[in-house]
Each structure stands twice: as C-alpha cells, then as structure tokens.
Amino acid sequence: MAGGAFFLSDDLRALEMERMTWGLEPAVVAQGRSGLTMIPEDPFPAAPPDTLVTAFADLFAGTSTHVLPAVWRLPNGEGRVLLNIQDSPQQIEGTRVPARSALPVSP
C-alpha cells in the first residue's frame, strides 16, 4: 500500500470469506504496483512504544505491538487510507476500521 513490494501475509486458508478479496481488489493492486508511495499524514505516533519490537516477539506474545501511522494520503491527492494493524477494530477519525485492515476514504 505504500507503493513498495506487494505481498499478502495472511494465511489464506484461515482467512474469513469477507476478507478474502481485500488484498486482491484492482485499486489496491494498482496502488501497490504503481511505484507511487502513500504519505503518512502524521508520521509520529502519539504514544511511541517503550522498546523496539520485532515480528518474532509479537508472534510469541500472540499480539501486535507495532506502531504505524493510521492515516495515509494517496500521492495524487485523490483519497486517503485508514490503516489499522491492531488485533481489534479501531475508531480512526470517526470511522470504524476492522482489525488488521486498511480502509480507503474520500479526501
């Protein structure tokens, strides 16, 4: 989504049917392959973590402790994306974003 490598990290065998196409929607694939990077609207987290985390630490703890910007702007100014990497739904700018998902919104 940030215009870099495109990959799916979910175990597709265990994915809920409603999420099966999220990473394969034409607009998402086009953005991932465009080479154009999305821009975080606020790159500094309100509550930075106390320690650096790793994917392995999260795997063993069974949780997600990474911190990423929640609101991203498309480079062409045609929209924004709300990003929730948490294990539970989150309210971002008044919009409910499902767990571990991204939601495109109008500018």
pLDDT of 95 reads: 93
pLDDT of 8 reads: 65
Q: Identity (one letter) of the amino acid at 10?
A: D
pLDDT of 96 reads: 93
Residue 35 is encoded by which pair of tokens?
């080479």
Cα separation, 37 vs 47, whole angstroms? 25
pLDDT per position in the chain (107 positions), as tens? 455 555 666 677 777 777 766 666 776 677 777 777 888 888 887 777 777 778 788 788 877 777 888 998 888 777 888 988 888 899 999 999 988 788 888 76
pLDDT of 59 reads: 80
Residue 31 is encoded by which pair of tokens?
């953005």
pLDDT of 9 reads: 67
Q: Is 48 exposed, middle or buried (0-12, 13-18, 19+ CB in 10 A)?
A: exposed
Q: Is residue 57 helix, strand or coil?
A: helix
Cα separation, 102 vs 81, whole angstroms? 6
